[in-house]
Chains A and B, each alone.
Chain A
Amino acid sequence: MNSELAIEVTDITKRFGRFVAVDRVSFQVRRGEVFGFLGPNGSGKSTTIRMLCGILLPTAGTGRVAGFDVARQPERVRENIGYMSQKFSLYEELTVQENLDFFAGIYGLAGPGGAARREEVMALGGLASYRNVLARDLPGGLRQRLALASAILHRPSVLFLDEPTAGVDPISRRQFWDLIRAMAAAGTAVLVTTHYMDEAEHCHALAFIYQGRLIATGPPARLKAGLQGSLVEVEVEPGQLLPALTVLQTHPLAREAAMFGAALHVTVDSSEAIPTLQASLTARGIAARRVETIVPSLEDVFVSLVTREVGA
């Protein structure tokens, strides 16, 4: 096997009865890479992570993590991974220090070396001044960093983060991502799930998952470039947003049209379609304030991919 590969997934599948939660998903993550797993809730992100952590047995396919097979060597896998679950595995009645002591204990990090490592992750997470605070009294951002600190105590070579920033304020989110990137720079492979598209921009590679299937993978830039045609942003009076959407969705030149904040995003084959779009809007009495091509965001890519998937 390729020693550069930290995670290697081939056709991994999980069925719960007749429901296919994960359908033949394959991807690879290299050491030092931050790999983003994107998709709406219930799309199979967490199920995939749980299979890779050895919590759930795959129905079919294989997964290798840190060189070990997730189905056959789950114990070896667990020694080499850090896992931060959606709910953060923290003990509410224990202080920051006690939580770290506990996780250090179950990862066999007793002794002076372990104590030094605990101080190290505590400093890394900015938790030192909160060491005697009960976990339940910590604000969201600190809880998240404590969960991360607990997950990286044993220096795992692969880190799984399941929606690590859900319910955390923007500043804490940014600090958190700084930490993640620093760890990746030090050689850790990170697989992170999120449904925040802006966070996906932090990743070296992305995988879009929708209804259990992988619909696209690649670096963010390539995914954006792969968006066929050009993306046009249309800005109209707020009251005319819905009529404008109706016009554009049925327009022969528009491949897709979707709301995007206070504006509309329309995918067209080429930017030459802009005057025609504008004319159609004016014909319906809609004054377009601005119609121009833009660089697509990952959300545009995702919407486009899903539309194609659903249409197919």
Chain B
Amino acid sequence: MSSRIWPIMRKEFLEIWRDPRNLGFVLVMPVLMLLLYGYGISSDVKWVPLAVYDRDGRSPARELVRRFTSTEYFVVTAQVGSLREFRRAIDTGQAKVGLVIPEDFSQNLAAGRPAPIQFVVDGSDSNTASIAVGNIAAIGKSTELTPRDLRPQILVAPKLETPVPIELRTWVWYNPELKSSNFLIPGLTAVILMMLAAMLTSLTVAREWERGTMEGLIASPLRPHELMIGKILPYVVIGLVDVVFILLVAVFLFRVPMRGSLTLLMISSTIFLLGGLGIGLFISAATKSVQVAFQLSTLATMLPALLLSGFFYPIENMPPILQAITYLVPARYFLVVIRGIFLKGVGLAVFWKELVFLSVFAVFMLVASSAKFRKRLE
């Protein structure tokens, strides 16, 4: 390695260190993004407001209500005494879910007869509704009442009395509580790293143009690849520090299980980062303005990583053209790797193909931007 690379790295670190905005940008922003998105996008449905119309009023009925409200999934917001009030609670949105306990509930239970109760779910928010229905069934199952006794229905559908012919016993692997953060946080890590990497390099080069220091560098005997490597390496280091930060937040704050190899995670992250840094260099060859570099790098990395990586929307559900495009989005591959390491604890044997693609992408981006860079220097 040429000795001219070291002075550039040193200068780069000093510049980052001296400007508190840089430091905030580099170290605080990723964690902040993780917190905002992590809490903001969570698809867990908790503390669903529940209206209770208890026509029985005896202790087994109260016990049933307690079963539901002792979890963090439901909270009673209305105790109603008539069907009209019950209706109004749902209509006004005071409650999203209503529970009706018939007068003969305790009697049926005592007599060993099926004791149906009725749930009414506000289906206007279909997402919340279907998750709430799932939670109702899950809680119902865990009580001594049999699932058959619980009849979740979407807004006053006719009661069904047919017994359930097949008994499902679902066993969810890797994420048994189906906690959305377990799924989202590793994906967010990919989005944040990609965006950060592209932004950091495109900004550092654009800044040299804007301040006029690039001219001095061009007039020096510095070779283009020395400048590029000297500018990339510091940000690889910073990117890895960010990976550690994100990892700490993920594991200790969001309680995402980290089941795989830390070394493998760091190596994969480095490869992924290099690709992002390459995108940044490529962008910086296209613009000399810090502002434009910022916008371009956000656009070129955040949107694909967010929308086309399988982070938000499953790739299988996309139209074929979009599916084809996702093959060019590095985050798609990194997502497989990082979810694999975090949640499944799997290794190279499972995702070596993804790592190969990420490596090829990184090399391609760096070579391509280096070629473009060279021309700018002449």
Contact = CB atoms under 8 A, between A and B. Distances in A.
Contacts of B18: 93-94, 134
Contacts of A74: 378
B219 A55 contact: yes
B19 A53 contact: no
A193 to B, nearest CB: 14
B134 interface: no
B221 A79 contact: yes
A78 B377 CA distance: 12
A201 interface: no
B88 interface: no
Contact of A93 (B14, B216, B218, B222): B14
Contacts of B7: 101-102, 104-106
- Size band of the B side of the interface? 20 to 34
Contact of B221 (A93, A104, A106, A151): A106
Contacts of B378: 54, 57, 74
Nearest to A110: B3
B295 interface: no
Contacts of B11: 91, 94, 98, 102
Interface in B1-51: 3-4, 6-8, 10-11, 14-15, 18-19
Contacts of A81: 219
A75 interface: yes
B212 A86 contact: yes
Given A74-B378, A106-B4, A55 B10 contact: no
B212 A85 contact: yes
Nearest to B11: A102
Interface string A71-94: 000110011010101111111111
B14 A94 contact: yes
Given A90-B213, A101-B7, A54 B14 contact: no
A93 B15 CA distance: 6
B217 A55 contact: no
Interface in B220-274: 220-223
Given A55-B219, A87-B212, A106-B220, A93 B3 contact: no
A122 B8 CA distance: 21
Nearest to A82: B219
Interface in A4-43: none
Contacts of A107: 220-221
A108 B3 contact: yes
A293 B212 CA distance: 46
Nearest to B214: A89
Output the residue of B6, B220, B378 with the most chain A CB within 10 A.
Answer: B220
Nearest to A49: B219
B215 interface: yes
B84 interface: no
Given A98-B11, A108-B3, 6 more contacts: A53-B219, A83-B219, A89-B216, A101-B7, A103-B220, A134-B18
8 contacts: A78-B220, A83-B219, A91-B14, A94-B14, A105-B4, A105-B8, A106-B7, A108-B3
The 10 closest A-B pairs by CB, nearest first: A89-B216, A105-B7, A87-B212, A83-B219, A93-B18, A85-B215, A53-B219, A89-B213, A78-B221, A79-B221
